A and B are shown apart, each in its own frame.
Chain A
């Protein structure tokens, strides 16, 4: 009884950011001593507990005192450490597994060199090999990490492994023309397809659940940000390595290019994934914050662009790269939309930010319609090529997504429907990307004769 109440009190106090577990241990010892004394004086357990807690002082003022003493605690730290003693063993295990997998991925990328595939002296063969296989050296390890962490059954693990095996067979057995169009396309789309397959592992096999899908979207955004941060740090590390060795007359370039860069990138993919998992609840997610900053800016950019086009009457000049440029624009808008949805409280009323998002989506659709018109003209003139079809397909997929999103968003902003349909639409659409990427990897080479 008393133990229960002390347990409750403990967890209640622990929720205060400025008071950590050791402080609560100390306060608990105080409380117990006080309770023991009061009970000796004849009070019952309940009374003694209440008086003891009261004498400790109001939690607000107490945590304020601790906060003045430990102001650094108010900065939420990325605590890559167990929060309690009991979680310690589990946490160490997870850290070891992640580290082991990161090392494994770093080693895996060097294995082909044993068979003479060195990018420096291997020429086009080696280049095309690494191009096609790069994601296969690391993503299976990331998927494996999640399969392990979520405790997937062996049937699920086999199902998760299958796409990786199929992908490896397809890109290595099909007779691609070396560094040809279809090969480059396959190399670009395989990572996309496999990244979504990793999501199956992330969801522990329950990938049909919209919540799990949205969580994977959040994970992906945070992972990307962590990768960018690690890359920045890695750049500094490599630059300094170069510098200190050149200061003593040694050339460290081989160390950088052959080891630090390839092994580091592979390892970083796993470490970033593990960090995002570990910190999940500890610090604010960054992706939605960036979304908040850039949604209005991009909306303004597109509005200005449309206005300029209308005023000057100039059309979009279709350069060679135009299709890809507009695909990137749509990807970005879908990304902004996705992350603003992922961070939004579905219960909240539509606000100014929603109007901005809707403006952004509508403008992107308009700009893209104009571009598509110009591009279609080019395709009818020059015919189909793998690159054009791939870019066109992606454009259509994104336009369908954004078009329907605009409709759903419009209904939400005008209060004719809730926010949930928009969320469901986005999560339901995720497999479309995977299927399309899969088609580009598997079907395109065959249709276009491996050119």
Chain B
């Protein structure tokens, strides 16, 4: 399944925030986690994650610090802040509203019925 560009962009913030709510992480690990969580369905262009992370940092949703990787390379780690946690709660609620609205419409059954699902 190909998820549209706009949806990918819109879902980036809540996804990154909820992954960071599991604990401190860095870019490459976040991408891998997204892949895992979506069962490989949500494909990001890897580089695009970083401007998103930087925007979250600017909005104080996350804190960043330079550390070292296990091989000793410089690596930038991101951590969720309290403001970020609040934002995550609010974003989750918004997505739930959208989700339940979609579920409430007859759209799904109407589309899927002819396929015999």
Instruction: Identify the A interface with B (CB < 8 A).
Output: 23, 25-27, 29-30, 32-34, 55-57, 61-62, 65-66, 68-70
Q: Does chain A have a CB within 8 A of B54?
A: yes
Beyond A34-B46, A55-B45, whether A29 also contacts B69 by CB under 8 A is: yes
Complex contact B50–A23 (CB within 8 A):
yes
6 contacts between A and B (CB under 8 A): A26-B76, A29-B27, A30-B50, A55-B46, A57-B45, A62-B47
CB distance from A36 to the nearest CB of B (A): 8
Interface-central residue, A29, A55, A57, by most chain B CB under 10 Å: A29
Instruction: Supply 8 further A-B pairs (C-beta < 8 A) apart from A29-B74, A34-B46, A62-B45.
Output: A29-B73, A29-B75, A30-B46, A30-B47, A56-B46, A56-B47, A62-B47, A70-B54
B48 contact from A25, A33, A57, A70, Cβ within 8 A: A57
Q: Does chain A have a CB within 8 A of B51?
A: yes
Report the bound CA distance from A234 to B99 in whole Å. 62
Report the bound CA distance from A55 to B27 in whole Å. 13
Report the bound CA distance from A61 to B50 in whole Å. 13
CB distance from A27 to the nearest CB of B (A): 6
Report the bound CA distance from A61 to B51 in whole Å. 11
Instruction: Identify the B interface with A (CB < 8 A).
Output: 26-28, 31, 45-48, 50-51, 54-55, 58, 69, 73-76
User: Which secondary structure dominates chain A's binding surface?
Assistant: helix
Complex contact B51–A65 (CB within 8 A):
yes
Report the bound CA distance from A23 to B47 in whole Å. 10
Complex contact A57–B55 (CB within 8 A):
no
B26 contact from A23, A29, A55, A66, Cβ within 8 A: A29
Complex contact B28–A30 (CB within 8 A):
yes
The list of the 9 closest CB pairs from A to B, nearest first, reads A57-B45, A56-B47, A33-B28, A57-B47, A65-B51, A62-B47, A69-B51, A55-B46, A30-B28
Contacts of B28 in A (CB 8 A): 29-30, 33-34
Q: Which residue of A lies closest to B30 (CB)?
A: A30
Contacts of A26 in B (CB 8 A): 27, 50, 75-76
Report the bound CA distance from A333 to B75 in whole Å. 57
Q: Which residue of B lies closest to A64 (CB)?
A: B51
A66 contact from B27, B51, B58, B75, Cβ within 8 A: B51
Complex contact B46–A57 (CB within 8 A):
yes
Complex contact A65–B48 (CB within 8 A):
yes
Contacts of A30 in B (CB 8 A): 27-28, 31, 46-47, 50
